[in-house]
Structure 1
């Protein structure tokens, strides 16, 4: 599903214009990003949790060239699905 398809669905289900649905989706995505950038978690009960993890610096080998490259330490977003989402997917 693309963002446009999601906006179509939201506009139909919530009786909104497509523009309003797009704005809602944009606000949601921007806020999730803003909260994660601060290092905080976003918990959506039943759906899952978005969080940020810290990755240590490491040296890896590039498969095609066998060259060793160092990857700097950095933060990365992670998503952990909630129980309801897991049940819905595994049915």
Structure 2
């Protein structure tokens, strides 16, 4: 499902226009992004939670040459599914 399909599905389920559903989805994405930039955790009970963690610097290997390369530390976004979401997929 891509963004346009998600907007259409949200509009149908919530009885909104596609324009209103797009505004709602864009607001959710923007608000979640801002919270994660501030290293806050975003938890939606039953659905899941988004958080930021730091991946440590490490040494990897170039697959073509086999030479070691340094991979710098970076922040990554993690998503942990909530129990209701996980159960609905089963």
- TM-score, normalised to structure 2, is 0.94
> Match for residue 65 of structure 2?
65
Deviations 1:50-79, CA, capped at 9 Å, x for gaps: 000111111100212212211111110000
Structure 2: gaps (5+ residues): none
In the alignment of these two chains, the number of paired residues is 90
> Match for residue 4 of structure 1?
4
1:17 to partner: Cα distance:
1.3
> Match for residue 15 of structure 2?
15
Deviations 1:4-29, CA, capped at 9 Å, x for gaps: 00100111121211111111101101
* Greater than 4 Å deviation, 4+ residue runs: none
SS at match of 1:21: helix
Task: Say what the alpha-carbon RMSD is for the aligned residues.
Answer: 0.9
Structure 1: gaps (5+ residues): none
- TM-score, normalised to structure 1, is 0.93
